[in-house]
Amino acid sequence: MTAHLQKILSENVPRYTSYPTAPHFHAGIGPSQTRKWLSQLPAGDAISLYVHVPFCDKLCWFCACHTKHTRRYEPVAAYLAILEQEIRAVSSLVAGNVRIRAIHFGGGSPTMLEPQDFMRLAGQIRASFHVDRDVEMSVEIDPNDMTDAKLDALAVAGLTRASLGVQDFDPRVQNAINRHQSFDLTQKVVDGLRSRGAVSVNLDLLYGLPHQTEQTVAATVRQALSMRPDRIALFGYAHVPWFKKHQTMIDEAWLPDGEERLVQSRLAAAIIQSAGYVPIGIDHFAVPDDSLARAALSGRLRRNFQGYTDDQCETLIGLGPSSISRFRQGYAQNAPAMADYERLARADGPTTVRGIELTQFDAATGWIIERLMCDFRFQADALTRLFPTCGAVMLAKASAIARNNPEMLRQEGRCFVVSSAYRPFVRTVTSRFDRYLEMGGARHSVAV
């Protein structure tokens, strides 16, 4: 490994699921701005919904999600009533002009919901919006929560895709992250989903966890592959104890260093690809006939807050505390604190407390970052066609970055290409375009 690559391993950069990234959102974007953006959605616009359930019945120490630990169901039930009020308020602002193409339930743990409550919530969404008959509904699933009744409820609600958290099957690793989940339980849930008509199952795996070794990572990957998931997400553990205090329960002495993380990620990727999966971007894999693989092949791969996606909707509306909405004009984030979220929801308006309005340069930079993250390249002609007012300036910046970092980014005629050796570090490559990162004021996880 070159000295330059070793240096990059220690760099902390954003994951670039949005641009600008969330640390640069500000309080100048509030309910009135979100109300305006909602009212300006084009008639017939296809949009996606993200529905956040911010509760878990057990707190995993590795988790960086916005969630709250509770053993009682009463707070969850009370939250659902407020969430339904937000759904009704948001739907009234779009005046029936939009159609829902995709719905994603995330958390926290959406599968904490009792069967009748999940069906009621899905029913409220269908009653409030025009939902396409072939809508894609995906749900993040904690296998420890699942029962036959909950599996039945997901099927009745219309689930098409499921994403199961696995992380690692090794008992020592599971003890270190407070996440206990057997292979047999996971297999049972996968079988239960498929028998009820789920068309796609994704498994989330992590490398870089405490006590992980090449051997434990390889063993977990092979166990996951034996279930023949349609997709695999292979994420690097993001150790951010300054952001999530419960991560202080993980002793940093147990964590693999940067080079070990890289070895683990490369080993896992090699095993997955040898099983016939297609690599998608930097951390996803899919069977060749999966829609994600087809999107990557045709240049239609996108990136949002859940990672890589084939969702082509330009607008994503986030529901629930801390959720982020993406509009053509900018980003709007809901209040993270439950008390603030409840107050705004009861006022029958958007629950936005921060966000950012995009400049043309922001939009162009975001397009460059997304294409590099998805395709490892972008075309100069496409940039100038899509962003005529600032495309030339952005091309000049790209040329300068390529000249100053020739080992990372090459200019090949009218195309800018990430060097093959630097594809695992593409987050670092794209960070060179990030003018907000130069301003400081935010901390991020390591690049790999």
DSSP string, 133-144: EEEEEEEEE-GG
d(CA 137, CA 410): 39
Question: Quick check: 139 and 146 in contact, CB under 8 A?
Answer: no
- Banded model confidence at residue 448, pLDDT cuts 50, 70, 90: low
pLDDT, one tens digit per residue, over 174-216 is 999 999 999 999 999 999 999 999 999 999 999 999 999 999 9
Q: Given this model, what pLDDT does residue 64 score?
A: 75
What domains appear along the chain, each with residue ranges and CATH number?
A: 12-319 (3.80.30.20), 359-440 (1.10.10.920)
Give the residue carrying structure tokens 């890289």. 262
Which tokens belong to 77?
């039930």
d(CA 315, CA 320): 16
At residue 325, the 3 state secondary structure works out as strand
- Banded model confidence at residue 92, pLDDT cuts 50, 70, 90: very high
Which tokens belong to 342?
């409840």
Q: Given this model, what pLDDT does residue 97 score?
A: 77
d(CA 36, CA 321): 20
pTM of the model: 0.92
Give 99's strand partners. Answer: 46, 130
- The average pLDDT across 114-131 equals 97
Give the residue carrying structure tokens 């609600």. 157
